[in-house]
Amino acid sequence: MFTPVKLANKNFLSSLDISSEELFHILEIAKNFKNKDLNIQLKDKVLGLIFDKSSTRTRVSFQVAMSRLGGTTVDLNPTTSQIGRGEPIRDTARVLSKYCDVLAIRTFDHSDLEEYAKWSTKPVINALTDLEHPCQALADFLTINEEFLDFKDVILTFIGDGNNVANSLILSGALLGIEVRIACPKGYEPNSLVIKKAYEIYKNKNLLKITNDPITAVQGANVLYTDVWSSMGEENQKEEKDKDFLGFTIDNNLVRNADKDAIILHCLPAYRAKEITDEVIEGNKSRIFEQAENRMHAQQALLCCLLS
Ligand code: CP
Ligand code: NVA
């Protein structure tokens, strides 16, 4: 049985705020929580949730994770708090640090999240920004590890927009040393600084590949992953992106080009018939709902490692 070890960094703003050892450790703790082998209590600890964008999984999985740990959450809806009125982040962060033990924040600009972290005296967790979704990547690699015990040899192919989810998969994939391939239309490549950082971490530079050809990218892949083509905040680009992403749908034809035992992941919510077909979501290779469940176990582990 494992005892959570406190993370070296105060915050979890990026997948790179933890070391590779810490990432393996969080995954082990999460597995123990899932198997009910671990009973750690964070009694009386309070998690503040500030969500500037909609959420089902992240919000509820954090609420339930905290409740399972014996703590509580407060949902600071920006429209009914002074956040929506434009109170400066530095003031909000200092005040909430007095009431809460940890904050999970979902917002647009990653620099706003960093501003919260700068002024908060308590740990701040990235619950999704335009740049990264590191909590999602924790659950994703937990799901992959459940399927492929020695997941170092796994090939993960992400088909779609080089967005926040892709960025965090790249960075966590680099920490774990697994092969990550991104297939996106030209002009929709992942963040260039993220790619640069990932190449600095990989010992074998061939393990990260960015391509514009989905068929080549899925050859021999063990995990096929996709996400929406237009993220929250990109609603006005939807029509244009729908056209640019034609040919990037995960359908049975694309799946047939992957390894025969490949699994399918999607962070959800999904637009069926756009980035993925209904058949693939509901098919026997899909681990999408296990992946959603794992958000809770992974975040329970993260909270313990930040607060213990
Ligand atoms: N995957 C994910 O973050 O889902 P929500 O937007 O529902 O939180
Ligand atoms: N890329 C998506 C992820 C949603 C969980 C978005 O940012 O809207």
What's the pLDDT tens digit per position in 79-90? 889 999 999 999
Q: Which atom, in ligand 1's list, is nearest to the CA of 268?
A: 1
211 is in an annotated binding site: no
**Domain 15-132+295-307 CATH assignment equals 3.40.50.1370:** yes
Ligand found nearest the CA of 235: 2
**Alpha helices, H only, the chain:** 20-34, 57-68, 89-99, 110-119, 134-147, 164-176, 192-201, 214-218, 238-244, 252-256, 278-282, 288-307
Ligand 2 pocket, residue 139 CB under 6 Å = no
Ligand 2 pocket, residue 168 CB under 6 Å = no
pLDDT of residue 135: 99
Residues with catalytic function:
106, 133, 136, 227, 267, 295
The class that CATH gives domain 136-291 is alpha beta
Q: Which residues of the chain have pLDDT under 50?
A: none
Decide: 230 and 237 in contact? Cβ < 8 Å.
yes
pLDDT of residue 77: 87
184 is in an annotated binding site: no
Ligand 2 centre and the CA of 100: distance in Å? Answer: 26
pLDDT of residue 1: 60
Domain boundaries for CATH 3.40.50.1370 within the chain:
15-132+295-307, 136-291
Ligand 2 pocket, residue 228 CB under 6 Å = yes
Decide: 249 and 274 in contact? Cβ < 8 Å.
yes
pLDDT of residue 152: 86
Cis? peptide before 123, omega within 30° of 0? no
Ligand 2 centre and the CA of 164: distance in Å? Answer: 7
pLDDT of residue 3: 84
Ligand 2 centre and the CA of 53: distance in Å? Answer: 10
Reduced to 3 states, what is the DSSP secondary structure of residue 180?
strand
